[in-house]
């Protein structure tokens, strides 16, 4: 049996209870530990093992990002992995830094395992609950993942603006400094005057 067939077997037969209860949000949820506990019978049956690794990625100053990778290994030396990215909310009140990183780490492991085993958490309140506050962590992660605009791309952006394009469209693709954004807005104003 290949590693893919073994993974498929786990994905099809996997069941994990939501054994944890969030008293603040009043809902049940499953943790990474619950998922790992539920996979143990499959790992033994299929001669497999799971290893979870984490890397701290460069994010913004106030939002470090943890990349969690869950890897399934078989007895033939084959492996298959799935990842999850989670921002570390350093402004979360009532938590010290180790707790903030620990909380993000737990979520990352859970979602990496969920990605590997195709666990659908769309009906899980833990997947959508903002614990009483609106979080912009996802938008910060997306912003941090954008590349800085190069000089060549900046020239193309100016041509795009000159042809009637919008600065907002460029900002969805690239990080712009305040000076670059001002320059593109100036280009837009100049184009509007001449048309």
Q: Is the pLDDT of residue 134 over 50?
A: no
pLDDT digits 0-9 by tens, 45-59: 999 999 999 999 876
Q: SS in 3 state form for the chain?
A: CCHHHHHHHHHHHCCCCCCEEECCCCEEECCHHHHHHHHHHHHHHHCEEEEEEEEEEEEECCEEEEEEEEEEEECCCCEEEEEEEEECCCCCCCCCHHHHHHHHHHHHHHHHHHHHHCCCCCCCHHHHCCCCCCCCHHHHHHHHHCCECCHHHHHHHHHHHHCCCCHHHHHHHCECCHHHHHHHHHHHHHHHHHC
Residue 123 has a pLDDT of 43
Mean pLDDT of 87-109: 86
Q: Is the pLDDT of residue 17 over 90?
A: no
Average confidence score pLDDT of the chain:
81
Instruction: Give me the domains of the chain, ranges plus CATH numbers.
Output: 3-135 (3.30.390), 146-194 (no CATH)
Mean pLDDT of 63-67: 89
Q: Is the pLDDT of residue 143 over 80?
A: no
The proportion of the chain whose per-residue pLDDT surpasses 70, expressed as a percent, equals 79
């Amino acid at each position: 049996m290949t590693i893919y067939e073994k993974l498929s077997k786990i994905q099809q037969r996997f069941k994990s209870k939501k054994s944890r209860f969030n008293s603040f949000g009043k809902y049940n949820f499953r943790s990474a530990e619950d998922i790992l506990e539920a996979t143990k019978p499959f790992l033994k049956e299929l001669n497999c093992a799971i290893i979870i690794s984490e890397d701290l990625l460069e994010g913004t100053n106030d939002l470090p990002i943890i990349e969690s990778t869950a890897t399934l290994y078989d007895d033939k030396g084959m492996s298959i992995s799935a990842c999850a990215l989670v921002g570390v909310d350093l402004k979360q009140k009532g938590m010290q830094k180790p707790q903030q990183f620990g909380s993000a780490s737990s979520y990352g492991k859970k979602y990496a395992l969920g990605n590997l085993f195709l666990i659908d958490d769309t009906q899980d309140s833990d997947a959508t609950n903002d614990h009483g506050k609106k979080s912009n962590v996802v938008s910060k992660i997306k912003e941090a993942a954008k590349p800085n605009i190069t000089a060549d791309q900046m020239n193309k952006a100016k041509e795009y603006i000159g042809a009637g394009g919008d600065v907002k469209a460029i900002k969805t693709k690239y990080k712009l400094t305040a000076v670059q954004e001002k320059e593109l807005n100036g280009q837009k104003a100049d184009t509007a005057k001449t048309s």
